[in-house]
Amino acid sequence: MLLRFTKMHGLGNDFAVIDLVTQHARINADLVRTLAHRNFGIGFDQMLVVEPPRSPDIDFRYRIFNADGSEVEQCGNGARCFARFVRDKKLTHKKRIRVETSSGVIELSINGNNDVSVDMGIPQLSPSQIPFDAPPVKADTYPLDVDGQTLEINAISMGNPHAVLLVDDVDCAPVAELGPKIEHHPRFPQRCNVGFLQIVSRNEVRLRVFERGVGETLACGTGACAALVAGRLRGLLDQRVTAHLQGGTLKLEWQGDNSPVIMTGPATRVYEGQIRI
C-alpha cells in the first residue's frame, strides 16, 4: 500500500507526520526503523502519528516513535509540527486544540505569526514519576556516577525523562561521549534525554541535547523545557528565557511550583510524499 506522509521540522528536529485519521496503516517498530533510515527510507528523527481521539473532550491522539522504533511519551518540537499539520490538512479549524499523549493531555495554540505555543504541562520532579532511581524525597540536583566521575545533574520529567547538566560552553561539551552513557545509565530505568546547558544570562541559555533513541538532534523541545526548569531550580534563570539550540531559538516560560512550562517556536513543512509499505 502507499502511505502518505508530510516531512516537517521544528528547528531542524525532523519528522515524518502520518495522518491515520483519513488513511489506515499498522505502525510497528520495524516499519518505523525502515522508514527512518536516511539512505533507504524517508529519514527522520521521529515519526509523528495523528489518530482520532478516544475521548469526546479531546481533538486528537498524538503518538511519537523514535528512529530506533521505540514509542515515547512526548516531543515538544513534534507537538508544534503536529498542530500546524492538522490545521494545514484541515483536520481541524480550531486555533487551540487538546491532544492526548501517552503521558497526558497537552494544549497547542497556533499564533498569528504561525508560531505555535505548547502548554507542556507541569514538570515532574519526584524520582518515582521521572522515573529515576533515588530516595523518594525530591532534590533540586543529584550526583550521578559515570565511569568513576561524579556529575551533578537535574532529573526532570516533561512527559519523558531528562537529565540536565551545566557546562561552561556547549561547543566544547562532551555530548557524543557522555550522552549515550547517561541515556543508558541504570538509574534511569526507561533511559533518558540528556541536556548540556550553558547559562548565558538570567534570561538566555544555549543548549545541546542527546535524545533517547535518536542521538544528538538539532533541537529538542522537551529538552529545552527541562533545561529551563533545571536552571530555575538552581536559582540561575528567570521565569522567561530564550533558548538557543543548534537548529534555532525557542521562547520558554515557567513560573515555578505547580505551573506548566509554555514553549513557543516555529513549525515548518518541508514536503509532501508517499511511500510504498
3-state secondary structure 171-191: HHCCHHHHHHHHHCCCCCCCC
d(CA 191, CA 220): 16
| Model pLDDT for residues 206-236, shown as the tens digit of each residue | 999 999 989 999 999 999 999 999 999 999 9
151 in the same domain as 77: no
d(CA 85, CA 239): 30
At residue 277, the 3 state secondary structure works out as coil
163 in the same domain as 70: no
Number of domains in the chain: 2
244 in the same domain as 131: yes
64 in the same domain as 106: yes
| Model pLDDT for residues 59-87, shown as the tens digit of each residue | 999 999 999 999 998 899 999 999 999 99
Q: What is residue 137's predicted lDDT score, i.e. its pLDDT?
A: 87
| pTM of model > 0.85 | yes
133 in the same domain as 110: no
| Model pLDDT for residues 92-147, shown as the tens digit of each residue | 999 999 999 988 899 999 987 779 999 999 999 999 999 999 998 889 999 999 99
Q: What is residue 98's predicted lDDT score, i.e. its pLDDT?
A: 95
Q: Which domain holds residue 212?
A: 127-259
- CATH number of the domain encompassing residue 144: 3.10.310.10
d(CA 255, CA 253): 7
Cα distances (angstroms) measured from residue 103 to each of 71, 74, 161, 170? 12, 7, 11, 30
| Model pLDDT for residues 144-161, shown as the tens digit of each residue | 999 999 999 999 999 999
d(CA 182, CA 208): 14
Q: Which residue has the cell 499564533?
A: 111
Point out the residues that are catalytic: 75, 220
12 in the same domain as 100: yes
CB 264 within 8 Å of CB 242: no
Q: What is residue 103's predicted lDDT score, i.e. its pLDDT?
A: 84
253 in the same domain as 139: yes
Q: How confident is the model at residue 16 (pLDDT cuts 50, 70, 90)?
A: very high
Containing H/E element for 154?
strand 149-157
pLDDT at 255 over 80: yes
At residue 218, the 3 state secondary structure works out as coil
Containing H/E element for 221?
helix 221-233
Q: What is residue 257's predicted lDDT score, i.e. its pLDDT?
A: 87
131 in the same domain as 104: no
91 in the same domain as 9: yes
CB contact burial 209-243 (16+ within 10 A = b; e otherwise):
bbbbbbbbbbbbbbbbbbbbbbbbbbeebeeebeb
113 in the same domain as 151: no
159 in the same domain as 112: no
153 in the same domain as 44: no
At residue 84, the 3 state secondary structure works out as helix
